[in-house]
Amino acid sequence: MNKWSMHELVLTGLILWMGSYAYLYIYQLTDFKPLYTYCAFLGFAVFFVLSALGAAKIRGRGTQHLLTWLLAFAIYTSVSWLIASHSAAATQIFITWMEGALILGAFSFLFCNAKKLEQIQVAFVLIAIIGVVLNCYDFILPTFSNVPGRAAGLYENPNIAGKFIAMSMVAGIGVVPRSIRLWYVLLCGLGVLVTFSRSAWLLWFIGVFFLGWVGVIGAVRYQKISTILIAILTVTMLGLLFDGKLAQIAHNSSLAKYLDPNTSARLGIGGGQFEDRSTSMRIELAKEALAQGAEAPVLGHGLGFTRERDGWIYSSSTHNMYLLLWAEGGIVGLAVYLWLMILLVYHSNGVGRVIALQYVFAGFMTHNLLDQPAGLIVLALVCVLRYPFDRRAIDSSQPLQAPGRA
């Protein structure tokens, strides 16, 4: 591995600090505010621009389009806040989304100017492995999670923990030796499994399936056969998990003592896989979001509408990015978000496109994709993360380089 520059060391450290949620955990223990981390990162980005003045530039059409989208998103967010209730909830969402836009823009710029992406990918591998270890510990000895029976590690929320491990697994796989990549994704799968987040399970399966599809996992010599076998294995495991067959194995093993009624229901023990309270609530939320969006189809009800009790009758938001933007932003808000999804898929390739597909599917299962810096870091990587598909490059397992063109 080449010697790391100071810029690369600081950038890698910030990825680890923010991506692992260590800064939020410290916030729980001390008076340290997350805003300090955001300001430190943005300050570093400005310092990079000033120190590399003349050399730093936006490389790659994908990153250029992403930064253009960020400008449109900032305008939409501002207009949506202006027509909102200006409540504390709406104002907080406005601040959070604008902070997220700055973070995403800064990381995108830094990533597209990175001389090599190997260090960045190493950071994601470390984040995934640390997340797995802490999740397994949290499952056996509950310590961090805010949901009994479901592991979360430093992320505190099991859904966030599972989702980010699944995405980090894909983001870092390029620097994992090919001979152990299958073991690496299975290890990440264990960390995702103990979150008992069905959305995270699905994102992990999507990641493994498409990594196998593009030939990143499996033997190079027998790439087509490996791809087919991994695809069959992935679909089979997904079917067994959601059919409840694996649940019976867990119920009859030593793991049973760690399962509570909630996690047992999520595994399908004693009933259907989707008969718990969470599933029925999400169905009701979806119906309400569709109805509310239809009442204000052009601009929606304004930013933060689904987080308020005035007009929104539930205590939780939509659990769906598409429905969130429809209810709060109408056709305009939904179009802005769909623009981002199309941009990610169209301007990405290989491993980057796998992450893009994870994002597309994740939007159907959460309303927080634009709120969390950890997820935005992965998002910034999508348009610059390539995988060398020629045989010689794959055989040599060379680290990925930042592309000059997308």
How do residues 323-342 score in pLDDT, each as one tens digit? 999 999 999 999 999 999 99
Q: Would you say residue 310 has pLDDT above 90?
A: no
User: What's the CA gap between 154 and 158, in Å, rounded?
Assistant: 10
Per-residue tokens: 143: 């310590």
DSSP assignment of 184-246: HHHHHHHHHHTTT-HHHHHHHHHHHHHHHHTT-SS-STTHHHHHHHHHHHHHHHHHHHHHTHH
Residue 116: per-residue pLDDT: 75
Q: Residue 272: how many CB atoms within 10 A of its CB?
A: 10
| pLDDT-derived band at 308, boundaries 50, 70, 90 | confident
Mean pLDDT of 164-180: 93
Better-predicted residue by pLDDT, 198 or 356: 356
For 153, what's the count of Cα atoms within 13 Å in the CB-facing half-sphere?
28
Residue 119: per-residue pLDDT: 86
Mean pLDDT of 108-134: 91
User: What's the CA gap between 319 and 290, in Å, rounded?
Assistant: 13
CA dihedral 83, 101, 201, 283 (to 10 degrees): 0
Q: Is residue 48 within a helix (H) or strand (E), and if so which, with residue range?
A: helix 34-51
| 7-27 pLDDT per residue, tens | 888 899 999 999 999 998 998
| 384-400 pLDDT per residue, tens | 886 543 333 333 334 44
Residue 7: per-residue pLDDT: 81
Residue 392: per-residue pLDDT: 34
Position 401, amino acid = Q
SS3 350: coil
Segments making up each domain of the chain, as ranges: 6-44+63-243+276-396
Residue 359: per-residue pLDDT: 95
Mean pLDDT of 162-178: 94
| pLDDT-derived band at 381, boundaries 50, 70, 90 | very high
Residue 277: per-residue pLDDT: 64
The pLDDT mean for the chain works out to: 83
Q: Would you say residue 297 has pLDDT above 90?
A: yes
Q: Would you say residue 213 has pLDDT above 90?
A: no
pTM to 2 decimals? 0.85
Residue 248: per-residue pLDDT: 58
Residue 279: per-residue pLDDT: 72
Q: Would you say residue 254 has pLDDT above 60?
A: no
Question: What DSSP designation does 254 have?
Answer: G
Mean pLDDT of 221-240: 70
Q: Would you say residue 63 has pLDDT above 60?
A: yes
Residue 390: per-residue pLDDT: 32
Mean pLDDT of 92-114: 92
Better-predicted residue by pLDDT, 218 or 136: 136
Question: What DSSP designation does 400 have?
Answer: P
From residue 258, alpha-carbon distances to 68, 144, 150, 160 in Å are 48, 15, 9, 21
